[in-house]
Every structure is written in C-alpha cells, then in structure tokens.
Amino acid sequence: MHDTPTADRPPAARGTGDEEAWRIRRTEADFDRLAETESIFALGNGWVGWRGNLDEGAPYGMPGSYLNGFHGRRELTYPEDGYAFPQLSDTVISAPNAALIRLWVDGEPLDVRTGTLRVHERVLDLRAGVVERHTEWVSPAGHGVRVRSTRLVSLPRRPVAAVRWTVEPLDGTVEVRVCADLLANERVPQRSDDPRAASVISDPLTAEYRHSDGHDGVLVHRTGRSGQRVAVAVAHDVRAPEGFAAGVDCSPDRLRLTLTGTLRAGEAVRLTKFAAYECAPVDATPPQELARLVVAEAGAARAEGFEALLAAQRAALDDAWRTADVQLDGDDELQQAIRFAVFHLIQAGRPDGDRTIPAKGLTGNGYDGHVLWDTEGYVLPVLTYLAPRVARSALRWRHAHLPEARERAAELRLAGATFPWRTIGGRECSGYWPAGTAGLHVNADIADAVLRYVAATGDEEFHAETGLELLVETARLWHGFGHWSDAGTFHLHGVTGPDEYSALVDDNVFTNLMARRNLRGAVDAAQRHPEAAARLGVDPAEVAGWRAAADALFVPYDRKRGVHQQAAGFTEQPEWDFADISDDDYPLLLHFPYLELYRRQVVKQADLVLAMQRCPGEFTADEKARNFAYYEARTVRDSSLSASPQAVLAAEVGHLDLAYDLFAESVLQDLADLGDKTGDGLHLASLAGAWLALVQGFGGLRDDRGVLSFDPRLPAAIDRLAFHLRWHGHRLRVTLTRDEARYELPDGGPEAGIELWHHGEPLRVTGAGPVTRPMPEVPDPGPEPPSPPGRRPARRSTGER
C-alpha cells in the first residue's frame, strides 16, 4: 500500500454546447434498461471489449468481457437433418471479467437498488475514450459513501484494460471492505426467446492454471469444444490509509484482492486495477507461457501508470477524430448521436491484428457474436474512408479463412469459395435457413469491400495478393453458380438477397449487380496482376468467361409498372394487406409465418434500394425515383439495416425531409433503443449506415466507378455539414452550407492534389487552398412517396421532436 490519497473532486457540473456533444450522460439508474445502458457504455479496442456494467457487477442486464474471436461451441439440431446442414455453431462467451470491484459499507453491500441513491451519473467521454462514474449512496442503515471510477480499454495497448476506483465517506466514519475480483464463468442470463438473441453456454470455461503474487495474479482457462485457451492477469495499485489490511484469495474461477479498514472524513481508498487479456489455440501456447505474457503486460501497464494510459488514449482518439469527426449544425441531439456512432466504429476494429468486426462489435452477445455481411456491407465502407488500415486488417481476416470458404463451397458443390453467412472462426455457424444459406451475396459484399478499399487507397500490394485471391475465388463461385439461358442471358437462380422476407428467388437484382461488380473486379485484378493471377490458376479463357457472364447478367424489369423487380416476378406477387396490421404486429417475422411473408410484396429491409446505393451507375435518375417510390411503400424496416440506404436514395431523388428522418432513425437506433434490441449489443451496421446517410446521402459521395464524386444537397434541418475522408493518402475535408460546397486538403502542400467531381464538374483540389462551388438548387421531386402504415420514420425535419 501507499500513502493516503486525498479525496478526488466530484465530476464537474454538466457542461453545455459542444462539450455535451462529446459526452453520453446517464443521470439515473433505470433498472428496466440496464442492458441497453451497458451496451451504450461499452468500451473496446477491437481485441478486448468490456460491457458497461456497474463496477460492483450488480444489478446487471447482461455481463460481458469479450475477446475478439474467443468462443465456445455447441451442437445444432434439426427436426429433419439434411445434406450439408451445419452440425456445429460457435457462440461468443465471456472471458474472465477483470472489471469488477465490489464494496461493503459497514457490512452492507453497495447496491443501487437499496438504500438511498443521492447521485448516480455515468458519462461516456467520446474524446477521452473512458467511462466515468459518480455515485453517492446511503446504505439502508444510514452510512453514506461516494464512489467514483474511470474505466478504459486501451486503444494503443492491445491486451490492456484498466479502471481507477475511489471510495470516500460522505460524512462521519465508515467501515469498508473492497473486493477487486477477476471472475470466470460469470452467469449470463438467457435474455429473450427471440430467435435473433444469443445462445448461452453455461460454465464454458475449465480452469487450467492460477497464480497470485502479492496483490496481483493470473487465471488461465480453456474452452470445452472450441479448443481455445484464455489468460487474464491483474496488477493492482492500492492507495489506502494506515491500518487497512489486504489479502488475496485465488481459486480456480476467481482471484480476489480484499481491502478492509476504516475511513474517516477526508480519507479515501483508491484502487487502480490493470488487466491484460490474451487467448490462443490450446495447441499453440502452454498455460504457463500464456500466463507469463499477460502478467508482463499487466505489470508494464501498472509501471506506465494510469495517467499515462489516459494520455495515450486521448492522443489516439485525437488522431482518429482528425479524420472521423462529423460536424452537423442544426440538431444538437443528432450531432451527439453521430459522434457516438463514429466512436463505436473507431473502437470496433484494429489495424494490427488481422481481425474482423462482429455485427455487435465487442459490445454484447447478440447474434452469438457472429460476423455477418453487415461488416463488409456497412462497416468497412466507412472505415475505408476513416481508418483504411482497419478495413485492410478485416479483409485480411477474410482472406485467412479462404480455406474454410473453399471447403464450404466444395460441400455445397459450388466452385471457388463460399463464405459463411454467420461465423466467428471462418466456418458456417448458421443452421440451415433459406434466408441465410442462400444468401450468397455475402461473397459479393466481400469483393465489393475489396474493390472500394483499393479504389480509395491505391494499395496495389494488397490488390495483387489478398485482394486478387478474394476476387478470383468469389468470381469463380458466381461463374460456376450461374446459368446461361437460351436467350444468351446469365442468371442466378435460387438465392436470397438482403430482404429476408423473400427467399430462394431467381435473379435478385442486388445479388446480380453485385456479382457483376465482383466478376468485373476479378477481370481487372487478373489483368493488372497477371503473374499473381497465373499462380492462382487463372488463364485467359477463365477471364473471358467472367467478362461474358458479367456483361450478360440478367436484371429483371417490370415494363408495365416502370420499375425494376427486386427479383424476377416480385412485382407480380400478391400485395401485403396492411389494413389488418397494427403497430404491435411489427416486426412481422415474430407474428407471421415466413411462408406468408415469402409469397407477398412486403420487404423487410432495403434490397432493390440497396442495389441502387451500391451500384448507382446501373440505374438512370428516373429509374431511381420510380424504384424508390415503389419500394418505399412496401418496405417495413423490420431490420436496423434498412433506414440508412433508404436515406441515401431518398436524398438522391430529392425527398430530403424523408432522408433526414431516416438518417435520424439510423443514428438513434441504439441511443433511443428503437428496436428494443440494444441490450444485446450495439447495431454497428446501423451506426455505420448513419455516416453513409450523411456522407453519401447529403454529401452525395459516390465512388463505385473508382472516381470520387459529390452531388451534395442539404435538408432544411441541417445548416452546415462538415466531414473528412481519406483518399489515396490524402485527408479531404468537405464543408457544405446552403450556398456552397468547400473542398480542401488541410494537411497537403501545394504539390498534393486529388481529382474529384462536383455535380458533374471535374475539379482538382490541392493543398494550396480550398476549392468552392455553389450548391445547385434541388429539383422538386413531387409528393413524398408513402411508407407502409405506421412505418414512416418519426418526423424531425418539421420540428416535431
């Protein structure tokens, strides 16, 4: 122990203005929404993730201490099994939890549900990258204490997380017992019978090794069936008054440091806990060796000190925010919300670990912690512009799992590689389901992410190696899967597009256009890197086959109605009867059989609209307007993935108020818990989609042809919009007002420059100074198209907030 610390000052009073746009604040204990708050206050660094649970661990909605890729394994069962049905599924499990610090006051445990809670405030600081807590609690017996803590998961130091925790008496003298725990096999409740919720494996960890030394210690465990080992070490820095006693208890599933003593007025106990996490396959690193690694990391973090960790965290975020910050003038709530969204994208991935980003990041166990197409479809397009090295790392993770994708393709009797619908470690983790097993578009989404990354960075080394092989193997899938008709057109039959209320359809437009982009991207890559392509067995005949298939891919169009069909025959199916639907019937998948959904014109999430966002050059302006109106009336947005692409297209066709309201729905998905699912973890795709709604929707950014272009237009609710993005090593700043668009390279000298287009006009922007152009008037698009009854997003654009 060390010298007695002075009591820290309470947090500063609530700030105003732009200060609060950088903070997410909760000032009361809402016991009905604990899990939601835990997700919102989650911290991570792409490797370690701590949910925002209270320091004392209870009450909780769902505890969670995660490592990227760390999982358990369970069997899948089917009433009727079938060929190639996956038999095993992986599920995220909690690593031992090092964030716990429990407190007893005169024998009574600190529990915000008991006694009197005078103050209870928690703040997520988006610039500092910490969660701060200030609680003033009076026990049922009348003994009061003030507890403060600051928690971080280090962005610069991959294995490290830490918490500084302080307790002091409110008045008088109190006896306290402080227990700092490292706890394995923490109980995780089954939160819901919703089929989208996670499966829970009870007691997933088996103890292998434990050791304590002074105030510090380490636990090592292994999983049962997934063959992984995890080690967590804790190192403590204790500052307490004279007379405090300390002891350490180390059991297979718990390491506990206990401090006991008397606190008088003006005294405090300050405990700083430094934790380090690592996991590895059981056959890669012995338990003691893994333990030594994390003990060294935790000790090094303590030697560096908590203040140094805070400073490094702020420096890392300062650097990230230089590119990532979005300034939105006109709506303070949405300004805060878009920064919250971007913050969670920043902390979701790493540039140095060849790891990808699950649908929930490391904020919860929703979707069993699986990686879905959300990552390449929504998250990586944003990170390509804001943190391209993180996008590169995630794509390298896909490349590392090409062997499993080839194996799955062979099992399905397909060519090339078939990436899984849901996965943690590269193998298919989704039980057979038409909307998943047939969702082959995930392969084109991966290819699209490769092409966007290469276009934005010019990274030819990546293109010639990782990118080329991903493009080649996915092109082989489409070429082998497709069918040539007698009319000479190329078709993709029996697939499921993004809309999961349609399954096993023919010629889904999104899938076909993305496959076309995939095939053409593979042709270009093979021609640019012929030697590398030859090593993959690519020959001129195969390249010619890809090109011919891409050129002949069929795109169904209903001439009678003047719209593209989401899939062949879609517009001829019976309409959904919305007259008998109430608000309580949404989401439809929980109240109607899929057989009923599959055969009618009702759309769960943007599908044809998403095709127009991803492949804008494939549609004319008139086609976009007609398509958008037709599908807006049939899209119920039972998925958080839907609002952002609808916002982008609504802005492009001129319905700016609707676009703004859809943007608000996307960016508030978690802060307002619009789908009542935030407790399972954040919706990273929706948060990324909010950035796309702003930058592609109101900024008019397009790059699908490898050219950076902007067609900006602002809704009435936004006075000014400013954002940055990285393009070929340059940081481009775009500032939009009612009157003008301003483009500049804030870091470049006169010789630095990029080419871009503004409303069809070519421009060259250099470091010599900004280039400005007027904002043209937006043509009147006519009346706003109707949404399904009860499904229009809440209106913000007219001041109804």
Residues with catalytic function: 500
- Give residue for tokens 């009618």: 600
| Phi/psi of residue 399, nearest 5 degrees | -60, -40
User: Are the C-beta atoms of 70 and 205 separated by less than 8 Å?
Assistant: no
Which among 425, 69, 39 is positioned nearest to 277, based on CA atoms?
Answer: 69
Tell me whether residue 374 is annotated as binding: yes
Residue 363 in tokens = 């904020």
Residue 373 in tokens = 């197409």
Burial of 737 (0-12, 13-18, 19+ CB in 10 A): middle
Give exposure, 765-786, as e/b (b: 16+ Cβ within 10 Å): bbeeeebbeebeeeeebeeebe
**What DSSP element (H or E) covers 218?**
strand 216-223
Alpha helices of 633-683 — where are they, by DSSP H?
643-653, 656-667
Residue 413 in tokens = 């009797």
Long-range contacts of 414-418 (CB under 8 A, 24+ apart): 414/477, 414/480, 414/481, 415/476, 415/477, 415/479, 415/480, 415/481, 416/472, 416/473, 416/474, 416/475, 416/476, 416/477, 416/478, 416/479, 416/480, 417/443, 417/473, 417/474, 417/476, 417/477, 418/443, 418/477
User: Are the C-beta atoms of 236 and 271 separated by less than 8 Å?
Assistant: yes
Residues 626, 648: Cα–Cα separation, whole Å: 15
Alpha helices of 419-574 — where are they, by DSSP H?
434-437, 441-457, 460-462, 468-481, 509-528, 530-535, 540-552
Q: How open is the CA angle 169-174-179, to the nearest 5 degrees? A: 90
Residue 505 in tokens = 């359809």
With left for phi above 0 and alpha for psi between -120 and 50, is residue 172 left, alpha or beta?
left
- Give residue for tokens 């009361």: 28
Beta-sheet pairing, 269-281 with 228-239? antiparallel
> Does the N-terminal peptide bond of residue 159 adopt cis geometry, omega within 30 degrees of 0?
no
Residues 52, 196: Cα–Cα separation, whole Å: 22
Burial of 75 (0-12, 13-18, 19+ CB in 10 A): exposed
DSSP 83-115: TT---EEEEE-PPPEEEEEEEEETTEE--TTSS
Tell me whether residue 560 is annotated as binding: no
Residues 663, 435: Cα–Cα separation, whole Å: 26
User: Are the C-beta atoms of 320 and 126 separated by less than 8 Å?
Assistant: no
- Give residue for tokens 């090409």: 402
The contacts of residue 284 (CB under 8 Å, 6+ apart) are none
Residue 485 in tokens = 């008709």
- Give residue for tokens 């407190």: 103
Tell me whether residue 661 is annotated as binding: no
User: Are the C-beta atoms of 181 and 254 separated by less than 8 Å?
Assistant: yes
Residue 332 in tokens = 């303070």
User: Are the C-beta atoms of 82 and 431 separated by less than 8 Å?
Assistant: no
Residue 708 in tokens = 């950076």
Tell me whether residue 604 is annotated as binding: yes
Residue ranges for the known binding site are 373-374, 604-605
Residue ranges for the known binding site for substrate are 373-374, 604-605
